Structure 1
Amino acid sequence: MEQRTVLVVLFEGVQSLDVTGPLEVFTGASQWHGDAEPYRVVTASPDGAPVRTSSGLALSPDTSLTEAAARSWHTLLVPGGAGTRAQDADLVAWLRANAPRARRLVSVCTGSILLARAGLLDGRRATTHWAYCDTLARNHPDVEVDPDPIYVRDGHVATSAGVTAGIDLALALVEEDLGRDTALTVARFLVVFLRRPGNQAQFSAQLSAQTARSEPLREVQRWISENPAGDLSVESLAARARLSPRHFARSFHAETGTTPGKYVDRVRVEQARRLLEDTSGGVEEVSRACGYGTPEAMRRAFLKALGTTPAEYRRRFHSSLTTAP
């Protein structure tokens, strides 16, 4: 069996989990795959010296980038972190000169910013941490930035969203290399899902809106999430919060940054997506379970929020599970 060398780039201010998450996946695959070790993980910093992560953790690399350039490797992984915002011209130049040698080029979180500076994402579709998608798109107009997925594959280049999305991408790569059984074993050992599809949204309705400060409104948010098929009119929600509808709507918007109606819409679409992904229920059944009442109402909501119909969304989702990521 081919042993794939995974070279992980380290630098000052790197995000520790961007490094250790994928590292645990690849080394875990070697541990659980059997006698053969399908991966050899090597870490390298610019000068071979230890680096300090954004959280203060010190990491000691195996080698320097100069020495690593003289060797062969299969996968080059570039993590993100606060250090990517520094203008490290030498690191970018190293990536520009050496990254094209990789059979597979991977970034985690804002590592995509380094790849973009090196011109390695020009003409490609890519993603990054949701908080930096606008920055990536603005500074690198030749990159097609998709802010929604947790990871994106474009040929031999794979980019992932923030932090833990690097684990999802690494698991997808292990599944591609070694099969589902090995990836599932690693996922179970790490107690994570195998696998969140790359087209899954980076954050949920609850994360995309702020959590309300006051307990009555936080309780209303919980109620909406747990009862998408219930009466979620402003009048009903206001009564649950023991406020007048006018006062409730004004307070909800002030504390969450969105209106009650838009929040309900997000929760219902999110719940419908989960049911379409995880169950075999028909579109009519799902629409009732999520409070739409009719399939046509859910269809309009999906077209508005996702640009696709529920049936097409389900087809694409299951297609992503049966083809290589």
Structure 2
Amino acid sequence: MRESAHKTVVMVLFNDMLMLDVTGPMDVFSISNRLLPEGQHYRLLTVAEHQTLVRSSCGLKVQADMTLKDLPAGTDLLLVPGGPGAYGVGHPGLTAWLPTAVKGARRFGAICTGAFLLGDAGLLDGYRCTTHWNYVERLAQRNPGSRVETEQIYVIDRNLITSGGITAGIDMALAVVAEDHGKDIALEVAKVLLVVMKRQGGQTPYGPLLAAVPRDDTAIARVQAYVVDHIEEPFTVQRMAELAAMSARNFARAFQREVSLTPMQYVLNARIDHSRKLLEGSDLPLKVVACRCGFGSARHMRKAFSERIGLTPNQYRQQFGGD
């Protein structure tokens, strides 16, 4: 555990940032200050390109403490929030400034889609990182020199720390506090915020396992649609190949090439996605959900959920189901 006086945390502000990406982590550090000796407090600063009000994506405006050029030396942690302004538009001034600013910081990172700005500045190459589950593929495509993790709530790789979507910035900040001042302090902060120190299942439970099903008339797309529309039926590679009017070997190769999943991985993901909808929107017994989704038994469904989602069906229903 590393301790030093007044660790400086700098949050970068820009138009169309997500306000919760800013305030969530900053409140973690602020509440930590209530529990720490004065000499170990976090010093919290905000910077922006210009000394003007910055408008967040929800409409709230924030006044930065200083401009980019006034960033003080000795930054312990430099953070970039996400939001439409992070991935939807360019910030040439900010991305030109970031590499130099990062060199002067002990640690740097991003909340949610703020990782896109780090990537635009060339700061993700050679690192493992993550972002919101809905944007991981886009981040990976834009940053082939990095390894984008798809499931973790946050990823720490040497001096880089990145988090998944929005409230995952709180998880990330708690991890920083635990590293700096120990797990007990971080746990007390988590209690104040009414959040858990470590969520079950990572980001995987929050997004679908399969992208939108194509509805064109190609052989592979027809099979994908048929599986989703008849999910209660039994499927084998041979049966799917027959639906595509192809040999099993050619079908398996073509399917994996186009979908980036084996046919049976696709079927399993489709079954899990459908069962999640039933768990979220109904109080059907687990054995009925399992039957309607083609699992055959609640035991088989539980095994698939635990391995793929990181939660049991009951845990998933408790976390995401209705009243």
Q: TM-score scaled by structure 2?
A: 0.67
1:38 aligns with 2:41: yes
1:71 aligns with 2:79: no
Residue segments in structure 1 that go unaligned for 5+ positions in a row: 211-216, 238-259, 269-289, 311-325
Contact 2:133 2:207 in 1 (8 A): no
The residue number in structure 1 matching 2:300 is 292
Superposed displacement of residue 201, structure 1: 2.5
Q: CA deviation at 1:301?
A: 7.4
How far apart are residue 195 of structure 1 and its match? 2.6
CA distance in 2, matches of 1:233, 1:72: 56
Q: Distance in 1 between matches of 2:284 and 2:78?
A: 42
Aligned position for 2:186: 183
Superposition map of 1:107-118 within 5 A: 107-118=110-121
Give the corresponding residue for 2:199: 196
1:230-289 Cα offsets, whole Å, 9 max, x none, are 34454xx4xxxxxxxxxxxxxxxxxxxxxx24xx69xx9xxxxxxxxxxxxxxxxxxxxx
- The two structures, once aligned, show a CA RMSD in angstroms of 3.1
Deviation at 1:34, TM superposition (A): 3.8
Instruction: Please list the CA deviations of residues 52-98 of structure 1 after superposition, one character each: whole Å capped at 9, or x if unmatched.
Output: 00110101111111101x43211001111111121111100000222
Partner of 1:14, secondary structure, is coil
Corresponding position of 1:48: 51
Contact 1:168 1:195 in 2 (8 A): yes
Find the residue that maps to 1:74 and give its secondary structure: strand
1:266-281 equivalent positions in 2, closer than 5 A: none
Change (3 A) 1:203 1:225: farther
Aligned ranges 1:129-278 → 2 under 5 Å? 129-196=132-199, 200-204=201-205, 220-222=278-280, 227-228=285-286, 230-234=287-291, 237=292, 260-261=293-294
AA in 1 matched with 2:279: Q
Does the 8 Å CA contact 2:5/2:39 hold for their aligned counterparts? no
Letter of the structure 2 residue corresponding to residue 40 of structure 1: R
1:49 Cα deviation from its structure 2 partner: 1.7
Distance in 1 (alpha carbons) for counterparts of 2:133 and 2:164 = 7
Q: Are 1:10 and 2:10 counterparts?
A: no
* Corresponding letter in the other structure for 1:32: L
- Quote how far apart the aligned CAs of 1:50 are: 1.5
Q: How many aligned positions are there?
A: 244
TM-score (norm 1): 0.67
> Cα offset for 1:221?
3.1
Where do 1:115-134 residues align within 5 Å? 115-134=118-137
Q: Against the structure 1 CA distance between its residues 219 and 65, is the aligned structure 2 distance closer, same or farther, given a 3 Å change threshold?
A: closer
The aligned residue for residue 266 of structure 2 is none
Shift of 1:220: 4.2
Letter of the aligned partner of 2:76 in structure 1?
H
In the TM superposition, residue 4 of structure 1 has moved relative to its aligned partner by 0.3
* DSSP 3-state at the match of 1:75: strand
CA distance in 1, matches of 2:113, 2:159: 18
Name the SS of the counterpart of 2:103 in structure 1: helix
How many percent identity over aligned positions? 36
User: CA–CA distance in 2 between the matches of 1:90 and 1:194?
Assistant: 36
Q: Indicate conservation of the 8 Å contact 1:172/1:195, yes or no.
A: no
CA distance in 2 between partners of 1:102 and 1:13 (Å): 25
Could you say if the C-alpha distance between residues 140 and 206 of structure 1 is closer, same or farther in structure 2, counting changes exceeding 3 Å? closer
